[in-house]
Structure 1
Amino acid sequence: MDWYVIDAIGVSYERTKKCLFKPFDLWKWVKLAMVLALVGGGGGHGGNLFNSFSNSGMGSGYGHDHISDYDPLGPIDGAIASMLSAAVLPFIMLLLLLIIVLMYISSVMEFVLVESLVSNNIRFWEYTRRFLGRGFQLFLIRTASLLLFLLVLALAVLPFIFVYDMPSGDHLWLSLIGGVMMVVFLLIVFVIIASVLGSFISMSIPVAMYCNIGVLSAILEVLRKFRLDWQQIVVYWVGRAVLGAIVGIGALAITILVVLITLIPFLILDIIVYSLSSLFLSGFEWMVLLPLVLVEMIFFIIAMTLASMPFGAFLKYHMLSFVEKWYPEASIPFGQGIDIKAEETTGFLA
């Protein structure tokens, strides 16, 4: 019996090599790295520092034996505390809005990435407009899954909170230890379940695209196929874990190499600039050094993103190559894009 997860390794390697190096196109690398980066991707305790400080005996009368109980800083403290309290809610709302927007962008980029790799042609804005609808469907499914996960996690942690509020004693510590172990166990189980669910969702994306069906329908189709051929998927999960570890080690080695190549020259340049600027701007060297460091950080982030991009592309090609064999009904059109012969590809990309 052939295991598709193994067969897909060689195929995905060749497709990655052809996509990124035949021919090498820096602008193509930048666009694909940007897509992969976009794919990648609050509360309070009921009080505030100013109220606690004021109620401690230091902010109100400085003690019982003080001449007067009047605190001249009290109105100022109250005004600052009110301003901070008023700013917390908008900040939380803004943070939630940002998370929602990034989740939606990530969902759309999942489709953009698949189409870019299959067609070997990255048309960022065209693909983005094309998959806004399916991206929204994926966003809703992911949001519902996340809310369900948080609800179940809250229900699991709730008994632990009640135990924490119990009076102290020997049984309390035993209960706390047992509660912590239970929470850790549940977290591990939830991570496994989330990984399995994420695997099914990833496989459903090309099915939805090339079978021209909704994302939820595609997930149901993948689950139906799983019931018929579950052995391949179980081996796929194990193989992907091993392959992910190997690819992660390779990515780490490349990351360290990029750090050495970029940071050492940057440090030498910073030392030179600091030494020269100190001769003319004594005490104000930061005016020259700060913009330089910001530019270096931007360049460093870009270099890291470009260096890690081939590993992400390879893993996505591996998933698509597996689905191509495991779910042939999807009819992923590799033959119209990445699998076209070299002379045909040149005309296609022109």
Structure 2
Amino acid sequence: MSWYVVDVIDRAVERTRSFLFEPFDITKWLKLAIIVFFIGGSGGFNGGGNGGSYDTSAGEPDVSWIPDSLTDFLSNLSHHISSFSDTTMLMTLVLILLLIFLIAIILGYIGSTMEFVLVESLVSNEVRIREYFKKFMGKGLSLYVLRLVIVFAVILMIVIVTAPFIFLIAEGDSGASGALGIIGFIFAIIAAVILFIIVLGIIGSFINMAIPVSMYQDSGLLSAIGRVFSQFKADWKQMVIYWIGRGILGFAVAIMAGIIGLIILVILVLLLGAIDLALYYILNMVLSGTVLWSLLIAVVIVELLLLSFTSAIIRMPFAVFMKYHMLSFLELWYQLKMPIFDELHSTSGNGPDQWIEEAEIIDE
């Protein structure tokens, strides 16, 4: 029996190569990196903490290696913060939290809409972010609301699963009942996490497949999910093998992307670190402590954004391949007709209809 998840790997590789390298267009790559950046989130760079040497006789850490200008800057910053009243601090904290919440909502909506932008770009072989974003704003909103509902449902389910054990721990004593509650709580959390990962993976798979279905069959997102689920009931074996195959393929792709990304990002971090060090010594001769460290912090923030965008560029070809793999699978499994750019395959007799015929021959 022919499994579509395996059959379409070569087609996904060919489409990825054609899309990214025939011809190579740096503008297209940068636009795609922007799309992947918003879809995947702005992954930050987490640096390790600096381990200072300790003076065991005094019991105090040795901070003599820290520049005096930095300690003065931090001291002044702490003094300004402590000068605020409790009411002012509370209002400031609330405003910061509201701002973070607002930014999260905006970025979540942009990321959901970019899912449609990415599919349209891959199908048409033209990356037009603004045009496609305007075209799919409504569908992006539907996807974002659906994802929010799923998140709240997951949180509610976690609370329901863990609540009995929390009450048992709270009301139990330090004896057997308390220990039993703690052990049960730990196992319940582990089981819930594993179960939710599997369930969310399955739900996410249906949603991702519903995105191109809703785009190219002119239907709402929920209706498209229903259509994909109906096809699942009619041909569930291919879908189950698809989940297993995608898991293996995704793991392999993640390892490749991780190795390449780690090498590039380490080199970039070392380069930026050397630039920062040189910049510190140069500016330290002409600027005061507060101005100096304010400027350096701004430079570091820009560098973190640069590292995040570089990470998106590294991830982009792998994301393109995985998306083409899904679209190629849909052509076979769901028999979805898309105006995909490589019309040569369909005109030469190697299109989705030909794949299905070949698969039926193999099955026989």
Aligned counterpart for 1:110 among listed residues 105, 112, 115: 115
Shift of 1:287: 6.7
Where in structure 2 are the equivalents of 1:245-256 lying within 5 Å? 245-256=251-262
For the 8 Å contact 1:254–1:308, the answer to whether it is kept is no
CA contact (8 A) 2:166 2:185 kept: no
Matched to 2:22, the amino acid is K
Deviations 1:295-319 (A, max 9, x none): 4434333322212211111111111
Q: CA deviation at 1:282?
A: 8.3
Q: State yes or no: 1:98 paired with 2:100.
A: no
Between 157-166 and 282-291, report the one with greater CA deviation: 282-291
Letter of the 1:261 partner, please give it: I
Deviation at 1:286, TM superposition (A): 4.3
Conserved in 2, the CA contact under 8 Å of 1:205 and 1:215?
yes
**Corresponding position: 1:129 with 2:150:** no
Residue identity opposite 2:117 in structure 1: V
CA distance in 2, matches of 1:295, 1:99: 20
TM superposition score normalised by structure 2:
0.76
Q: Report the structure number with the largest CA radius of gyration.
A: 1
User: Which of 219, 222, 231 does residue 225 from structure 2 map onto?
Assistant: 219
TM-score (norm 1): 0.79
Equivalent residue for 1:262? 268
Q: Percent identity?
A: 39
Larger relative CO (CA 8 A, sep 6+): 1 or 2? 2
CA–CA distance in structure 2, aligned partners of residues 285 and 106 of structure 1: 36
Separation in 2 of the partners of 1:240 and 1:175? 38
Shift of 1:271: 3.6
User: Is the partner of 1:165 in helix, strand or coil?
Assistant: helix
Aligned residue number for residue 80 of structure 1 = 85
Aligned partners of 1:129 and 1:108: how far apart in 2? 9
Structure 1 position 163, deviation (Å)? 1.7
What is the number of residues matched between the two proteins? 302
Q: Classify 1:7/1:293 alpha carbon distance in 2 versus 1 (closer, same or farther; 3 Å).
A: same
Q: Which amino acid aligns with 2:127?
A: I
Say whether residues 1:15 and 2:15 are aligned partners: yes
Contact 2:113 2:133 in 1 (8 A): yes
**Which 5+ residue runs of structure 2 have no aligned equivalent?**
42-81, 346-364
Corresponding position of 1:308: 315
161, 168, 172: which one aligns with 2:174? 168
Any gaps of 5 or more consecutive residues in structure 1? 42-76, 342-350
Shift of 1:280: 5.3
Contact 1:5 1:236 in 2 (8 A): yes
Amino acid at match of 1:202: N
Against the structure 1 CA distance between its residues 85 and 275, is the aligned structure 2 distance closer, same or farther, given a 3 Å change threshold? closer
* Aligned-partner residue type, residue 312 of structure 1: A
Distance 1:163 1:86, change over 3 A: farther
Change (3 A) 1:154 1:82: same
Which stretch has the larger CA shift, 80-89 or 195-204? 80-89
